[in-house]
Amino acid sequence: MHILPIASGKGGVGKSVIAANLSLAIAEAGKRVVLADLDLGGSNIHTILGLRSVERGLGTFLSGRKLKFDDILIQTGYDGLKFIPGDAEIPEIADLKSYQMKRLIRNLTSLDTDYLILDLGAGTHRNALDFFLISGRGIIVTNPTLTAILNAYLFLKNSVFRLMGSAFPKQSPASRYILSLKKEGRLLQRIYIPQLLSKIKEEDRDSYDAFTVLEKKFRPTLILNMIDDPDDAEKIEKLRRSTREYLNVELEHLGIIYRDDLQDIALSSRLPIIKYKPDSIISQAIYRIADKILQKEGETEDTLEITTPEESYQVAEMEAETDFQVRMQNLEELLHFGTLTTGDLVETIRSQHFELQHLKKENQLLKTKLVRAASDGFKV
Ligand SMILES: Nc1ncnc2c1ncn2[C@@H]1O[C@H](COP(=O)(O)OP(=O)(O)O)[C@@H](O)[C@H]1O
Ligand SMILES: [Mg+2]
């Protein structure tokens, strides 16, 4: 079975549209495909496929009621394509307990299918990383905006740290070293991975070797979605170079997809775009990417089989203030190539500030609500 998790650092980049249409394109090529909606908080795959809302999905399954995994596997009406809905019974995949994660991953990887495609929620929380790292062949979707590219970079950086977490045995010198960096807070975020690895190679060869086994299998790919003009395609080169240089990861490019208003028309017609207008540029781009994926079939498929480490080495939590600083530091890594323009920077700083303001407001609102709820409670 080929497993293709589809992730992004930032939401709204087109993951679900791509997951649904790629699944369909691969099914049209005669493969058996199962598509799972793992964005439990923001499930929308059923809408993109034009299915009516579903009664039960992963949430129902995980809530412990007596359902077999097969009971939530539904026919889509498209030959060869089955679908596992998310459903809203569990608010966020981020909240899944580790036994639920294990149960879910075990059931998913035991399915009898040629392709398993996973649509993940945005962000770098641990569960998204764990789903992404089920396979060494995960797909990162990004847009050409600097914020989206930066978030894609952060996602990959966190993936590499997550792999270290899995490779280094507890109590090993390597593991202790990382934890000591972690205690010093910011240090871990600033870490230059190649340098860190060469230090670990010197001082803890076994841990280093265990990591390189995983690292070799980690061959994520990239889709650049919603570009407006050909120049946008170049923006991704910074990401690929930084990923190679700073993370020691070769990011293969699967293809670009133009922004096209047809997508929204297809959505309101309740048809996937490749069914709505198979000849459109956007549909052809999706078929091209599907072909590339199918051509890779001969290559050995690698499941990573990562284990859950005691402590997360995650460097970039998607959280307000710290996040802002973390991102600015990572921006430096992208900046070293000198290809960022002043315009890029202004755009990033502006959008980061905007996001930060927004989060602060939300936070304030929550606090007010809490205080009100608490004082109401006291009155009663
Ligand atoms: N290439 C594209 N051109 C135009 N609109 C797109 C394109 N890709 C996605 N969209 C639209 O962008 C929005 C976000 O897409 P979605 O797949 O839900 O993102 P994500 O799953 O990453 O959050 C949707 O309204 C979708 O129809
Ligand atoms: Mg989505």
CA separation for the pair 83, 20 (Å, rounded): 10
Q: Note whether 29 and 290 are within 8 A (CB).
A: yes
12 lines ligand 1 (CB under 6 A): yes
Exposed/middle/buried for residue 160 (C-beta within 10 Å: 0-12, 13-18, 19+): buried
Pocket test for ligand 1, best of 262, 263, 267 (most atoms within 8 A of CB): 263
Q: Note whether 3 and 85 are within 8 A (CB).
A: no
Residue 90's identity, in one-letter code, is I
CA of 343 to the centre of ligand 2 (A): 29
CA separation for the pair 99, 96 (Å, rounded): 8
82 lines ligand 1 (CB under 6 A): no
Alpha-carbon Rg of the chain, whole angstroms? 21
76 lines ligand 1 (CB under 6 A): no
pLDDT at residue number 380: 38
Give residue limits of the domains in the chain. Answer: 2-318, 324-379
Helices 146-167 and 342-379 sit at what angle, rounded to 10 degrees? 70
CA of 14 to the centre of ligand 1 (A): 4
| Tokens encoding 146 | 């600097």
CA separation for the pair 63, 41 (Å, rounded): 15
Residues 257-266 pLDDT 10s? 999 999 999 9
Please identify, by atom number, the ligand 1 atom nearest to the C-alpha of residue 20. Answer: 17
CA separation for the pair 82, 72 (Å, rounded): 10
**Residue (of 140, 122, 135, 287) closest to 223 by Cα position:** 140
144 lines ligand 1 (CB under 6 A): no
**Residue (of 131, 57, 51) closest to 88 by Cα position:** 57
| Tokens encoding 60 | 């129902």
pLDDT at residue number 317: 46
Residues 158-184 pLDDT 10s? 899 889 989 999 889 999 988 888 777
Q: Note whether 147 and 348 are within 8 A (CB).
A: yes
Residues 18-49 pLDDT 10s? 999 999 999 999 999 999 999 877 788 999 99
257 lines ligand 1 (CB under 6 A): yes
Exposed/middle/buried for residue 183 (C-beta within 10 Å: 0-12, 13-18, 19+): exposed
Q: What's phi and psi for 74, nearest 5 deg?
A: -115, 155
Please identify, by atom number, the ligand 1 atom nearest to the C-alpha of residue 18. Answer: 17
Does residue 231 have a pLDDT over 80? yes
CA of 88 to the centre of ligand 2 (A): 14
Q: Note whether 94 and 12 are within 8 A (CB).
A: no
Pairing of strands 74-75, 81-84: antiparallel
Name the architecture of domain 2-318.
3-Layer(aba) Sandwich (3.40)
Q: Note whether 98 and 124 are within 8 A (CB).
A: no
Pairing of strands 252-258, 115-119: unpaired
In the chain, the percentage of residues whose pLDDT exceeds 90 is: 48
In the chain, the percentage of residues whose pLDDT exceeds 70 is: 78
pLDDT at residue number 111: 96
pLDDT band at 154 (very low <50, low <70, confident <90, very high): confident
pLDDT band at 238 (very low <50, low <70, confident <90, very high): confident
CA of 267 to the centre of ligand 1 (A): 10
Residues 207-216 pLDDT 10s? 999 999 999 9
**Residue (of 192, 146, 164) closest to 9 by Cα position:** 146
Please identify, by atom number, the ligand 1 atom nearest to the C-alpha of residue 8. Answer: 22
| Dihedral, CA of residue 312, residue 314, residue 320 and residue 321, to nearest 10 | 100
Q: What's the mean pLDDT in 59-67?
A: 79
CA of 83 to the centre of ligand 2 (A): 15
Q: Coil, helix or strand for 132?
A: helix
CA separation for the pair 225, 13 (Å, rounded): 7
pLDDT at residue number 313: 56
CA separation for the pair 156, 124 (Å, rounded): 9
Q: What's phi and psi for 262, nearest 5 deg?
A: -55, -35
CA separation for the pair 274, 17 (Å, rounded): 10
Which ligand is nearest to the Cα of residue 41, counting in written order? 2
Q: Kindly report the protein residue whose alpha carbon is nearest to atom 26 of ligand 1.
A: 14
In DSSP terms, 74 is beta-bridged to 83
Determine the straight-line distance between the first and last CA of the chain, rounded to whole angstroms: 58
Q: Coil, helix or strand for 75?
A: strand
Exposed/middle/buried for residue 295 (C-beta within 10 Å: 0-12, 13-18, 19+): exposed
What stretches of the chain adopt beta strand conformation (E)?
Answer: 2-7, 33-37, 74-75, 81-84, 115-119, 139-142, 221-227, 252-258
47 lines ligand 1 (CB under 6 A): no
pLDDT at residue number 262: 96
263 lines ligand 1 (CB under 6 A): yes
